[in-house]
Amino acid sequence: MLSIDLSGKRAFVAGVADDGGFGFAIAKALAEAGASVCVGTWPPALGIFETLLRRGKLDASLQMSDGSKLELERIYPLDAEYDTLADAPDEIRAQKRYRDRGDFSIEGVANRFRDDFGEACLDIVVHSLANGPEVTKPLMETSRAGYLAAHGASAYSMISLAQRLQPLMRDNGALLGLTYLASQGVVSDYGGGMASAKAALEADARMLAFEMGRKWGHRVNLISAGPFASRAATAIGFIHKMIEYYAINAPLPDALRAQEVGHAAAFLCSPLASGITGTVLYVDKGYHAMAVPADVEGLIDTLKGS
DSSP state at residue 275: T
243 within 8 A of 200, measured Cβ to Cβ: no
The answer to whether residue 180 is catalytic is yes
Query: Catalytic residue among 76, 82, 147, 190, which?
Result: 190
Nearest of 235, 232, 221 to residue 273 by alpha carbon: 221
Reported as half-sphere exposure (CB side, CA atoms, 13 A), residue 98 has a value of 17
Reported as half-sphere exposure (CB side, CA atoms, 13 A), residue 2 has a value of 5
Nearest of 175, 180, 192 to residue 256 by alpha carbon: 180
CA 102 from chain centre, in angstroms, equals 23
Instruction: Using DSSP, state whether 13 is helix, strand or coil.
Output: strand
The answer to whether residue 246 is catalytic is no
Length of the chain in residues, anyone?
306
Query: Catalytic residue among 82, 98, 156, 180, which?
Result: 180
The residues assigned a catalytic role are 180, 190
